[in-house]
Amino acid sequence: MEIRPIIWRDDAVVLIDQNALPLQERELLCREYGEVVAAIKDLTVRGAPAIGIAAAFGIALGARRLDHLPAGRIRAGFFKICDDFARSRPTARNLFWAIERMGRRFDAAAAEGTAGVGDALLAEARAILEEDVAANRRMGRFGSPFLRDGDAVLTHCNAGALATGGYGTALGVIRAAHEEGKRISVFVDETRPVLQGARLTAWELRKEGIPFTLIADNMAGTLMKQGRIQLVIVGADRIAANGDTANKIGTYPLAVLARAHGIPFYVAAPLSTIDLSLGSGDEIPIEERNPEEILSLRGVRIAEEGIDVYNPAFDVTPASLVTAIITEVGVANPPSDSALRELCSRGLSR
Ligand code: MRU
């Protein structure tokens, strides 16, 4: 069964509850847009493309409740909904990309009269979802040649079906190579503090029958030194114009380790993750999350209360450490301002 973390069913946004995985496979049904905002904040739905898609459906959900209001109030209500989503998490470019796209669809639909705005927005959210899945499959085809038969690949966090509309970005490339019959094995970083690797990537790979080994985050260097990892592939939350890449905290040290061991380091991400308005990664807003994520492990307190905690959710890997960025329209190899701009213009002309 294909993993689809966000669907529209019976006038509601239905999410796979990623906080419950892997121990429980259950859904969260959102009938109000505020429930989708809350689900993004508390990581029920997470991963940059999935956050954007959930917001698109959430905006459609909220806007459909406004349909009976006079035109001026529908517009004000729509912008309030968008604003609530924009404040949910700051780093993933895909969130803001999706909100902007929903805004353009709102303007186009409202210009024809406000009666059909809710339906138009729902159609746009559905299009964003299906385009994301198709983009991931194309990304898989562009990325799989980098994986050779017998390779062991290291990945961090979860950049799989759960983090997208379906299929995944970094995990999509691994899936594609596996589907082509290559014998690929995966080392999965557990990904402290909230363990997206141990809980989510391991769950997906197991379902798919792709061989993998779970490791703690501090073990990658030893495995590289032992020659047991041939390449690293990760996803991205935001990529600046020069190729600097924000991804889950712990990605940057992996890139440093990969360079020290002469191992290629790939980023797989859709064009909706690229932010050409930012010259470098220094400008990417990095989310800081609740200290409780560090003080506790899955609800069990492991450190004393009242101590200082620093909990950035993402780090930035400089483009100089990235071998190539794999997108749905081609590969920036190596990443550069001109290569990324060229890919983005190719995307626009599709
Ligand atoms: O905090 P999260 O779980 O939303 O962080 C997710 C990541 O860092 C992923 O690697 C990234 O969003 C790419 S997902 C295709």
Q: For the residues of 72-108, what is the DSSP string, one character each?
A: HHHHHHHHHHHHHHHTT-SS-HHHHHHHHHHHHHHHH
Asked if residue 302 has pLDDT above 60, the reply is: yes
The DSSP element (H or E) to which 294 belongs, if any, is: helix 292-295
Q: For residues 233 and 269, is the Cβ–Cβ distance under 8 A?
A: no
Amino acid letter at 182? K
Tell me how far apart the alpha carbons of residues 23 and 57 are, in angstroms, rounded to a whole number: 27
In the chain, count H helices and then E strands. 12, 16
Tell me how far apart the alpha carbons of residues 252 and 255 are, in angstroms, rounded to a whole number: 5
Residues 6+ apart with CB under 8 A from 19: 42, 43, 44
Tell how far the Cα of 234 is from the centroid of ligand 1, in angstroms.
9
Which of the four pLDDT bands, split at 50, 70 and 90, describes residue 113?
confident
Nearest to 194 by CA among 328, 33, 14, 44: 44
Residue 70: is it exposed, middle or buried by C-beta count within 10 angstroms (0-12/13-18/19+)?
Answer: exposed
Tell how far the Cα of 317 is from the centroid of ligand 1, in angstroms.
14
Residue identified by tokens 């050779």 is: 148
Residue 188: is it exposed, middle or buried by C-beta count within 10 angstroms (0-12/13-18/19+)?
Answer: buried
Q: What average pLDDT does range 184-208 have in this prediction?
A: 98
Residue identified by tokens 């020290």 is: 260
Residue-level pLDDT at 81: 98
Mean pLDDT taken over the chain: 97
The pair of structure tokens assigned to 45 is 């739905």
Q: What is the DSSP letter of 174?
A: H
> Helix H segments across 144-219?
170-179, 196, 202-208
Catalytic pick among 84, 189, 237, 315: 237
Q: Is 42 a catalytic residue?
A: no
Neighbouring-strand partners of residue 9: 12
Q: What average pLDDT does range 150-158 have in this prediction?
A: 98
Tell how far the Cα of 313 is from the centroid of ligand 1, in angstroms.
9
The pair of structure tokens assigned to 140 is 């898989």
Asked if residue 267 has pLDDT above 90, the reply is: yes
Tell how far the Cα of 144 is from the centroid of ligand 1, in angstroms.
21
pLDDT-above-90 percentage for the chain: 94
Q: What average pLDDT does range 192-216 have in this prediction?
A: 98
Residue-level pLDDT at 349: 58
Q: Is the entire prediction scored with pTM above 0.95?
A: yes
Which of the four pLDDT bands, split at 50, 70 and 90, describes residue 350?
low
Region at 42 (left for phi over 0; alpha for psi -120 to 50; beta for the rest): alpha
Neighbouring-strand partners of residue 136: none
Among 91, 136, 157, the mutation site with the greatest number of ligand 1 atoms within 8 A of its Cβ is 157
Which tens digits make up the pLDDT trace of 4-13? 999 999 999 9
Q: What average pLDDT does range 29-38 have in this prediction?
A: 98
Residue-level pLDDT at 298: 87
- Ligand 1 — pocket residues by CB below 6 A? 46-49, 157, 159, 163-164, 169, 196, 235-237, 247-248, 313
Nearest to 254 by CA among 203, 219, 212, 204: 219
Among 42, 43, 247, the mutation site with the greatest number of ligand 1 atoms within 8 A of its Cβ is 247
- Write out the E strands in 167-285: 185-189, 212-215, 231-234, 238-240, 245-248, 265-268, 274-275
Atom 15 in ligand 1: residue holding the nearest Cα: 159
The pair of structure tokens assigned to 56 is 């698109």
Among 89, 248, 252, 267, the mutation site with the greatest number of ligand 1 atoms within 8 A of its Cβ is 248
Q: Which of residues 122 and 298 earns the better pLDDT score? A: 122
4: helix, coil or strand?
coil
Which tens digits make up the pLDDT trace of 80-104? 999 999 999 999 999 999 999 999 9
Nearest to 121 by CA among 71, 63, 68, 75: 63
Q: Which of residues 293 and 350 earns the better pLDDT score? A: 293
Which of the four pLDDT bands, split at 50, 70 and 90, describes residue 51?
very high
Q: For residues 140 and 110, is the Cβ–Cβ distance under 8 A?
A: no
Q: What average pLDDT does range 200-229 have in this prediction?
A: 98
Which of the four pLDDT bands, split at 50, 70 and 90, describes residue 305?
confident
pLDDT-above-70 percentage for the chain: 99
Tell how far the Cα of 237 is from the centroid of ligand 1, in angstroms.
6
Q: For residues 243 and 332, is the Cβ–Cβ distance under 8 A?
A: yes
